[in-house]
Amino acid sequence: MNHSEIGQIRLNIASREWVIYAPSRRKRPQDFHAISSSENSKKVKKNHCPFCDLNETIILEMPSVDDRPWQTRVIQNKFPALVSKGKPQRTKEGIYLTMPGYGQHEVVIETPDHEQNLALMPIAEIEVLIETYHQRYLALMEDSSNLLTIIFRNYGEKAGASLTHPHSQIIATSIVPQHRRWTEEEAQRYFDRWGQCVYCDILSHEQENGQRIIGENETFVAFVPYAASLPFEIWIMPKEHQADFGSITPQEKTDFAHLLKDVLMRLYDKLNNPDYNYVINTSARYKAEEPQVHWYCQILPRLTITAGFELATGININPSLPELDADFLNS
């Protein structure tokens, strides 16, 4: 299989949700047979780490300091969900809609140290990671075909990570997902009604109320949201209204790094190093200046399993309570 072959993105015309089909990530149907029997589910190749012995072109490298050969490296994902070839042109296929799998998919290698854990990394290294995110975000958004750039981290098997070497991922897409539009439209309705950004209002309410706050510094607040969808969901949000992660200031990068480390450290300590995803939710292109969108980092520990009711309705059943989660992390 040619890994640079372009995949496709198909539209579910009943729900307007896009689904990505990437040739480089494709498994043969019979491979799913093996996955379904749990003994075979984790054949990890322990001897070879593709991030320790790098064969890929380096897109960005934060250079050597002290005794470390480099700080962070960014490469193209070896099995990209999307590739920047061709054009993001929609085509009809009968009643359906499809388009080439246009976009970018990068991996941020967070440290040369295979055994490192982000929660335990020195703060200076986490600052470099945020700086790396920021530089790649700005670079990817310079390509006018990219309408949305999503920075995310899958940590642990239950969060979908297949490699243990500390890494994050960045995907830039030429589509704005329905899910994102819905949320933006809600924020816009709120703004049109109240004349305020809903996230700014949430932030002031949480600061006043206090019972769900996990941490705060000059420019950021971390809290368990009032309607957390999962146990120990945490939002880290800039205090200043800012739709676009690209607008983050140097001071904010430092403060974000500090609060991110603080939060990850508490999860590590109090919940025994749980699997988690985090994602930087930011505005789509053309929304970067809007008064109703507000970027934030959403941390989703994977302590529960999403079952049929949740999948069908989008209503999560959360077996914890946000105030108890906050108390526990603060105890």
Q: How many Å apart are CA 72 and CA 65, to the nearest integer? A: 11
Query: Residue 18 half-sphere exposure, CB side, CA atoms within 13 Å?
Result: 23
DSSP 258: H
Among 76, 246, 275, 288, binds a copy of itself (CB under 8 A): 275
Stretch that binds a copy of itself, among 16-24, 50-58, 59-67, 135-143 (CB under 8 A): 16-24
Member of 1, 45, 94, 286 binding a copy of itself (CB under 8 A): 94
Torsion sign over Cα 170, 55, 145, 240: positive
| Window contacting a copy of itself (CB under 8 A); options: 51-59, 108-116, 214-222, 297-305 | 297-305
Count CA atoms closer than 13 A to 70's CA, side-chain side: 17
- Distance, in Å, from the CA atom of 73 to the CA atom of 125, rounded to the nearest integer, reads 12
Q: Which amino acid type is present at position 12?
A: N
Among 2, 27, 55, 63, binds a copy of itself (CB under 8 A): 27
Under the binding rule (CB under 8 A), the answer on residue 239 touching a copy of itself is no
Rounded to whole angstroms, how far apart are CA atoms 268 and 214? 14
Q: Which is nearer to a copy of itself, 29 or 63 (by Cβ)?
A: 29
Cβ 235 vs Cβ 198: under 8 Å: no
Q: Among 75, 161, 234, 248, which residue sits at the site for a copy of itself (rule: CB under 8 A)?
A: 161
Q: Give first-to-last CA distance, the chain, whole Å.
A: 52
Phi, psi of 323 (to 5 degrees): -65, -35
- Give me the active site residues, please: 167
Residue 244 to residue 266: CA distance in whole angstroms: 27
Rg from Cα positions in the chain: 20
The answer to the question of residue 11 lying near a copy of itself (CB under 8 A) is yes
CB of 224 to a copy of itself, least distance (A): 11
Q: Which of 5, 186, 240, 289 binds a copy of itself (CB under 8 A)?
A: 186
Over the window 187 to 226, marking each residue x when it contacts a copy of itself by CB under 8 A and - when it does not, the resulting string is: x--x-------xx-xx--x---x---------------xx
Scanning residues 104 to 133, which ones bind a copy of itself (CB under 8 A)?
none
Minimum gap (Å) between residue 3 Cβ and a copy of itself: 14
2 binds a copy of itself (CB under 8 A): no
Task: Give the nearer residue to a copy of itself in terms of CB position, either 44 or 305.
Answer: 305
Q: Does 248 bind a copy of itself (CB under 8 A)?
A: no
